[in-house]
Amino acid sequence: MMRISKTAVIVSIILYPFFANSQKEAGEILDNLARTIASYKCLYFEYTLKTEDLQLNTSGMQDGKAMMKGNKYRLSTSDVELYNDGITQWQYLKADSEVVISLADSTSDIVTNPVGFLLGDRKEFKQKLKGEVSEDGFNLLEIDFYPWDIKMPYSYIRIRIDSSKRRPYSIRYAGKDGVNYTIKIKNYTPDTDIPDDREFVFDPSKYPDIETVDLR
């Protein structure tokens, strides 16, 4: 039977309040940020997505732009356009001239919905406020998310927040397969002119030769 030393027990007792407070502080910061985002009538932002493959020692950069209104969402990059009206999701793959239709998912993937990830349920994570860091002349709060389920395909998700402007600055996803994604948000514009809701619905009439894959 493995024995736990008295020193280890004492250290854990001493450090527990620190980790508990860090978890609480991180939760409060994220709750405040989520409330701020949810209060916007409409949110528009642009971003860069950096992909790093540590196995192949390669990396790539891609620009994107996104728009949110309530539970509706639209994203566009050079490869894909994603439409989500809160009920149905359309993912248009440009290179394949194909659209994949599915039911809108309540979970948010950071690559397809960076800011939406912050509005989701965080019960599946333990979260820790790492402290303040400096990047590109900005003072940012850094918070790490660690999944309770060790079978999840990532080690952690790291959020950096510009607290002075009350907005997310960057999100990093560290994959266990050696593929990492870093999203840096820019041109963050809340309460823009509210677009017509049809902006969040894919219009197949614009793509007469497109192939449709319906997964609903």
8 CB contacts (<8 Å, ≥6 apart)?
A: none
Residue 106 pLDDT level (bands cut at 50, 70, 90):
low
Least confident of 6-15, 49-58, 114-123, 136-145: 6-15
- Average pLDDT on 26-43 reads 88
- Average pLDDT on 82-99 reads 94
- pLDDT of residue 7 exceeding 90, the answer is no
Q: If DSSP codes are grouped into helix, strand and coil, which group holds residue 145?
A: strand
DSSP 91-143: EEETTTTEEEEEEPPSS--TTT-TTHHHHS--TTEEEEEEEEEEETTEEEEEE
What are the tokens at 109? Answer: 């993937």
Q: How many domains does the chain have?
A: 1
- Domain assignment present for 204: yes
Q: Distance between CA atoms of 126 and 21, rounded to whole angstroms?
A: 12
Q: Which of 5-14, 95-104, 120-129 has the highest mean pLDDT?
A: 95-104
- Average pLDDT on 22-47 reads 86
Angle value at C-alpha 161, between 159 and 164, nearest 5 degrees: 175
Task: Tell me which residue of 115, 89, 107 sits closest to 152, measured CA to CA.
Answer: 107
Give the position of tokens 């736990």.
4
Spatial strand order in the sheet of 125-135: 125-135, 138-147, 154-162, 167-175, 179-190, 43-53, 58-69, 72-77, 80-84, 88-93, 98-103, 211-214
Least confident of 41-45, 95-99, 120-124: 120-124
Boundaries of domain holding 92: 6-214
99 CB contacts (<8 Å, ≥6 apart)?
A: 90, 91, 92, 93, 202, 204, 207, 210, 211, 212, 213
Mean residue pLDDT of the chain comes to 84
- Domain assignment present for 28: yes
Contact indicator for 46, 187 with CB cutoff of 8 Å: yes
Q: What pLDDT sits at residue 108?
A: 60
Q: What pLDDT sits at residue 6?
A: 42
pLDDT tens, 64-83?
999 999 889 999 999 999 99
- pLDDT of residue 163 exceeding 90, the answer is no
- pLDDT of residue 3 exceeding 50, the answer is no
Residue 193 pLDDT level (bands cut at 50, 70, 90):
confident
- Domain assignment present for 31: yes
- Domain assignment present for 149: yes
How many Cα atoms sit within 13 Å of 21 on the Cβ side?
Answer: 6
CATH number for the domain harbouring residue 63: 2.50.20.10
Contact indicator for 71, 108 with CB cutoff of 8 Å: no
Least confident of 17-21, 24-28, 192-196: 17-21
Q: What pLDDT sits at residue 140?
A: 94
- Domain assignment present for 177: yes
- pLDDT of residue 11 exceeding 70, the answer is no
- Domain assignment present for 194: yes
Residue 15's φ and ψ, nearest 5 degrees, are -85, -20
- Domain assignment present for 181: yes
- Domain assignment present for 30: yes
